[in-house]
Chains A and B, each alone.
Chain A
């Protein structure tokens, strides 16, 4: 039984550092040719900074280069791949085999196959192994039995999505964005048409439920099944969400880190902790289920609440500094809080719930409430904390 890698998304340098600090073994980031063209993708200098940061921690950075190229991308992609190679990224994640060919021809980059290629079976994966790829990110339609059979039959690293949003289609087989908004989904322009509402019509008659028709699915969560995935021998457990917040990344990664470590440290006595599930559920703004893992993809994995997602205001602030002498933490506010509120301060390893009794502004004048976005304040905290610790609402009144 080997310890799988915990792989986190990172939309920018701040989130890259947060993900690694909160327990990820590796991060994946987007650059010039990734499928989140409208995210704050990394420039080459930011990639270099991120790689240096990660390597100092003995951790890894993978760069998504997972578009389906059109002819014009061929003009610039080779120099980009060479730059990634010289920076020393640990691997690129690719879906277009044309890029695989170019990367092999011009660089020494390690290559992982993106989930965008929808790899579902051992014959396809055996082909990619023969092409020199070292890892395949499996399609999210794979069941537990599929993953096990593939692992037993092909000697290649497997990466499995364990948490986050799902495509309603087979990955790569949706061009709704192209047709409805003229944005190319397979080159990073996905406008999430699958979350739009539609009317379903049968020969002129509107088949109307209490909510409109949509393709939308619930999110994925395999938190319960981490021991199964470890026992199968999955090499990397991947969290989706390069557009997600630092708070989301920290919370999700910390929980998965704890589950992996608890199971690895004592598999015989491991017990599933329902509290972790509650933390994950509270952090996300949508329901989550195991999706295809158990072979079930019926009505209960669909999401019919339209875009009425719950706005989460749990994240109260980020710790910028900590003064050990007087136990005051310098906080950048993210949501309203006030004296007397019960809250939790947490870091990668520890957390502590307390009632806020001391609150000051930047001039150290007493305050009662913090209501301004990104307001800088000082609060008294009961434990020693550090930069990038976070403050959240206490979950006890869930």
Chain B
């Protein structure tokens, strides 16, 4: 099991260098659900850390973006990147067409929910799968047992729960002619606050809690992911440091998300 971190800055990457084995790096114009994304030049500079680097290319790719995507994928072929987390299926086809060698990680966020489909994508060239955060421990254990791909799992950080192409904050402010500053925003409902962020590519809403499953045993998962999105750099360092040193007194309480909470989907009883 290796520790991987989503980074917010190149400085942060260097600061946590001794606490992680891998970086997950959102990339300019092709990542969503991350407020900070990086240029290829910055990604290249990270190779000097001698850590594994996984690029996050998790945007829904519109037809007009295919040309730039192909250029990006060709350019990073020589970077020695460990893999690309993909959401859009175009990446599978482009990899085949251009005979690219950089490994792929199936990362369709809320869809990575069973071992059969993970094995399907494995057979199509995705050597890794990045598990959904809506799984139970029992489901994760069965996936570990039956899937062929190497696995990533979120263990710390806010969880994106909604992604839209629309600019929902901006639309609301414009519609009602409201003034706002460029400060962090939340939406509130029934005692809960959910972070909400507009970027040039749309709107993301995050969980009302910081996932913290650091006391759980994921030793059979290949990469456990610490997501720094919306977390202060010093707090994020503190969490990684304490995890590395086996201390459990985190600033963030343990929060297991769906790990022991099964969702339902059929409210009515079957006839």
A150 in the interface (beta carbon within 8 A) = yes
Task: Give complex CA distance A292, B164 in Å.
Answer: 12
B175 to A188, Cβ gap below 8 A?
no
Residues of A within 8 A of B108 (CB): 172
Residues of A within 8 A of B170 (CB): 299
0 or 1 for each of B45-88: is its CB under 8 Å from A? (1 = yes): 00000000000000011111110000000000000000000001
A117 in the interface (beta carbon within 8 A) = yes
Closest B residue to A174 by beta carbon equals B162
A98 to B175, Cβ gap below 8 A?
no
Residues of A within 8 A of B193 (CB): 201
A333 in the interface (beta carbon within 8 A) = no
Stretch at the interface among A209-217, A232-240, A256-264: A209-217
| A179 touching B183 in the complex, CB below 8 Å, given contacts A139-B60, A211-B176 | no
| A299 touching B175 in the complex, CB below 8 Å, given contacts A139-B60, A199-B189 | yes
Q: How many residues of B contact A (CB 8 A)?
A: 75
B266 to A189, Cβ gap below 8 A?
yes
B20 in the interface (beta carbon within 8 A) = no
Residues of B within 8 A of A243 (CB): none
A71 in the interface (beta carbon within 8 A) = yes
Residues of B within 8 A of A161 (CB): none
Stretch at the interface among A7-15, A52-60, A119-127, A361-369: A119-127
Residues of A within 8 A of B192 (CB): 180
Identify A173's interface contact among B109, B166, B172, B271, CB under 8 A: B109
B115 in the interface (beta carbon within 8 A) = yes
How close is A185's CB to chain B, nearest CB, in angstroms? 8
Closest A residue to B159 by beta carbon equals A179
Task: Give complex CA distance A121, B62 in Å.
Answer: 6
Residues of A within 8 A of B252 (CB): none
Task: Give complex CA distance A207, B90 in Å.
Answer: 39
Q: Please report B residues at the A interface, Cβ cutoff 8 Å.
A: 60-66, 88-90, 92-94, 97, 108-111, 113-117, 119-121, 134-135, 139, 142-143, 159, 161-176, 178, 180-181, 183-189, 192-194, 196, 202, 205, 207-208, 258, 261, 263-268, 271
Pick 26 A–B contacts, CB within 8 A, sort by A: A37-B265, A71-B115, A71-B139, A101-B117, A118-B60, A118-B88, A120-B61, A124-B90, A124-B93, A128-B89, A168-B168, A172-B111, A174-B162, A176-B162, A186-B134, A189-B265, A200-B186, A201-B188, A208-B178, A211-B176, A215-B162, A298-B167, A299-B172, A299-B175, A302-B171, A304-B175
